[in-house]
Amino acid sequence: MNGQMMSQPLLISALLNHAERHHGKREIVSRRVEGDIHRYTFRDLAARARRLAKALNELGVKPGERVGTLAWNGYRHMELYYAVSGSGAVLHTLNPRLHSDQLVWIAEHAEDRVLCFDLTFLPLVEAMATRLKGIRQFVLLTDRAHMPAQSTIPNLLCYEELIAAQDDRYQWPTLDENSASSLCYTSGTTGNPKGVLYSHRSTVLHTYASVMPDALNVSARDVILPVVPMFHVNAWGLPYSACMVGAKLVFPGAVLDGKSLYELFESEDVTMSAGVPTVWQSLLAHVAADKLKFSTMRRTVIGGSACPPSMTRAFERDHDVKVIHVWGMTELSPLGTTCVLKPVHDSLDEQALASVKAKQGRSLFGIDMKIVGPDGDELPWDGQTSGELMVRGAWVVDQYLKGEGGDPLIDGWFPTGDMAAIDDDGFMQITDRAKDVIKSGGEWIGSIDLENIAMAHPAVSMAACIAAKHPKWDERPLLVVVTKSEQKVTREEMLAFYEGKIAKWWTPDDVVFLDAIPLGATGKMLKNRLREEFGNHLVSMATALELEGQVSPQ
Ligand code: AMP
């Protein structure tokens, strides 16, 4: 017997309709690449998205066809989010921080037909245009006044003119909720990136789950400034969450330094933000240097790589800003877990609490997880045993675009490539990327632990721990450190800092000081690059010491 309730497909256009009808006056504020601050409401967004949908139809964009974007966080990108997916086409957000060869490869692989891009990226697109053979139309996201007098790009259209040519009488089509809505490629640090094709259903379910109190706790009272880019995994879903709950949105555009972000937080009464740890590093440095306080910020979501406890402490103790540590990945669109405490943690002392907050947290409803050993058997949730993290759920990839890489699942579970432990309260902690694991004499050492300790040193601004080849132990940890500009620390002081905090044999064998650690297109440290450069560091060091007669060969 079927239930007798209405059946309505879960569609992205429904989020926009809801925002327009029930939160129509709520504002969206954007720092434009043209330089000024732009303001309008959800009502304006909805009307312009409908005009854009009509314009896309007129350009011949068919259901399921891909529309690429190369754009910062801003209202025009938001319009594309809704108009492209809502009209039945697929929004393909491209990451402008990638090398142009890789961008061309991705756009061609995805068969993008239209490319919409911000003014900032005009030179980049001009350099790629002749190689982007599948693109029928290029659209510059600006008005006539900012269009270049001439450009080498064929068929370059002006976004504002496209919109102005249409009226806003448009009915969003009733699509199958399982139809594709948007596309994002994995970072692809090894091999070619792979496309993850989200559906309307997976996106709306992800939105429901992520706004819940024990997730990101987003409400109509919030003013959200997503620093995390809309060009990578949907800015962690915040452009959708804001419409679902009616939160004000503040888009920072292309200016992401600590000072500019702080000014926007203050001038727009921002209550919550979200970003990777490297972004918060510069913001915290700015507020500390100028002894500033956040007037309205109450919490910030940190993920993408491990949030060091020293960062959580700085936010919570110095600024009364709560940190929500999250874990996710492109294959999950992206949220999987949030570290939001349970009553069982109420009685913990400060140190024990800090250890819990360092964890990536517990599953959202809709995502199940487990850890497995090398033989695939499930491992216990004792908070100690580490194995590969596997997930399954309503917004987990089933297969990659065009079946690339074959069937990614093992018995219906997606292997994340992350190593993790889970405690008996269900709190998961990432110990490493599987490929970043350090194996010393057959025993495993967790690089994230070592990095978190280094980050707690007052002189350190960034730390990476990598596996370096070792003549005796196969691999040993090597610490790579960037110090704060005004601070100094020696190798010996750095290594002494580990004393009493970890088992002695976990202490890194050496420290390399760098001016900067290379970051990938999504702000993560490129440990593979460090391994390429310093993977033989300990071997060379041992040889040099031997030559100097300081150690006898074993
Ligand atoms: P991406 O698909 O580019 O979003 O990268 C996903 C990967 O980032 C995950 O598989 C993890 O290795 C890493 N990651 C994401 N969030 C965290 C976190 N909070 N702590 C540690 N690693 C994380």
Kindly report, residue by residue over 100-137, the tens digit of the pLDDT. 999 999 999 999 999 999 999 999 999 999 999 999 99
> Do the beta carbons of residue 75 and residue 64 sit within 8 Å?
no
- The closest residue, in CA terms, to atom 3 on ligand 1 is 187
Query: pLDDT at position 532, please?
Result: 92
The pLDDT tens digits for 532-546 are 999 999 988 877 766
**3-class state of residue 330 by DSSP:** helix
Q: Got the DSSP string for 99-134?
A: -HHHHHHHHHHHTEEEEEE-GGGHHHHHHHGGG-TT
CA of 181 to the centre of ligand 1 (A): 23
Q: What is the mean pLDDT of residues 56-67?
A: 98
- Which of 14-28, 202-216, 507-521 has the lowest average pLDDT? 507-521
> Does the pLDDT of residue 553 top 70, yes or no?
no
Give the residue, 544 or 230, on which the prediction is more confident.
230
Atom of ligand 1 nearest to the CA of 522: 3
CA of 163 to the centre of ligand 1 (A): 37
How would residue 428 be classed by pLDDT, with cut points 50, 70 and 90? very high
Domain 8-26+39-207 identical in fold to domain 436-547: no
Lookup: tokens for 189: 């640090």
Spell out the domain ranges in the chain. Answer: 8-26+39-207, 436-547
Q: Count Cα atoms within 13 angstroms, Cβ side, for 223.
A: 19
Ligand 1 and 304: CB distance under 6 A: yes
Query: pLDDT at position 339, please?
Result: 98
Ligand 1 and 360: CB distance under 6 A: yes
Q: What is the mean pLDDT of residues 487-511?
A: 93
Query: pLDDT at position 189, please?
Result: 58
Tell me how far apart the alpha carbons of residues 323 and 315 are, in angstroms, rounded to a whole number: 7
Query: pLDDT at position 25, please?
Result: 98
Q: Does domain 8-26+39-207 have CATH number 3.30.1520.10?
A: no
Q: What percent of the chain has pLDDT over 90?
A: 86
CA of 328 to the centre of ligand 1 (A): 6
> Do the beta carbons of residue 196 and residue 401 sit within 8 Å?
yes
Provide the mean pLDDT of the chain: 94
- The closest residue, in CA terms, to atom 8 on ligand 1 is 304
Q: What is the mean pLDDT of residues 7-13?
A: 97
The pLDDT tens digits for 71-100 are 999 999 999 999 999 999 999 999 999 889
| 452 Cβ neighbours under 8 A, 6+ residues apart | 306, 308, 309, 310, 358
DSSP state of 318: I
Query: pLDDT at position 477, please?
Result: 96
Return the percent helix, strand and coil in the chain, to nearest 5: 35, 25, 40
Tell me how far apart the alpha carbons of residues 41 and 49 are, in angstroms, rounded to a whole number: 12
| Among 386, 552, 540, 544, residue whose Cα is nearest residue 468 | 540
Lookup: tokens for 354: 């800090």
The pLDDT tens digits for 120-179 are 999 999 999 999 999 999 999 999 999 999 999 988 999 999 999 999 999 999 999 999
Q: Count Cα atoms within 13 angstroms, Cβ side, for 97.
A: 15
Burial string for 396-426 (b: 16+ CB within 10 Å, else e) reads bbeebbeeeeeebeeeebbebebbbbbbeee
Catalytic residues: 186, 331, 439, 444
- The closest residue, in CA terms, to atom 5 on ligand 1 is 329
> Do the beta carbons of residue 106 and residue 188 sit within 8 Å?
no
> Does the pLDDT of residue 552 top 60, yes or no?
no
Give the residue, 421 or 520, on which the prediction is more confident.
421
Tell me how far apart the alpha carbons of residues 330 and 236 are, in angstroms, rounded to a whole number: 9
Ligand 1 and 303: CB distance under 6 A: yes
Query: pLDDT at position 554, please?
Result: 33
Query: pLDDT at position 358, please?
Result: 96
Query: Looking at domain 436-547, which CATH architecture does it have?
Result: 2-Layer Sandwich (3.30)
> Does the pLDDT of residue 436 top 80, yes or no?
yes
> Does the pLDDT of residue 547 top 70, yes or no?
no
Q: Which value, to the nearest 10 degrees, does the dihedral of the CA atoms of residues 69, 144, 132, 254 take?
A: -40
Query: pLDDT at position 121, please?
Result: 98
Q: Count Cα atoms within 13 angstroms, Cβ side, for 391.
A: 30
CA of 286 to the centre of ligand 1 (A): 26
DSSP state of 521: T
CA distances from 102 to 86, 105, 107, 526, 551 (A): 28, 5, 9, 16, 47
Q: What is the mean pLDDT of residues 298-308?
A: 94
Work out the angle between the directed axes of helices 42-58 and 12-22 (0-180°, nearest 10): 140
The pLDDT tens digits for 335-357 are 999 999 999 999 999 999 999 99
Ligand 1 and 182: CB distance under 6 A: no
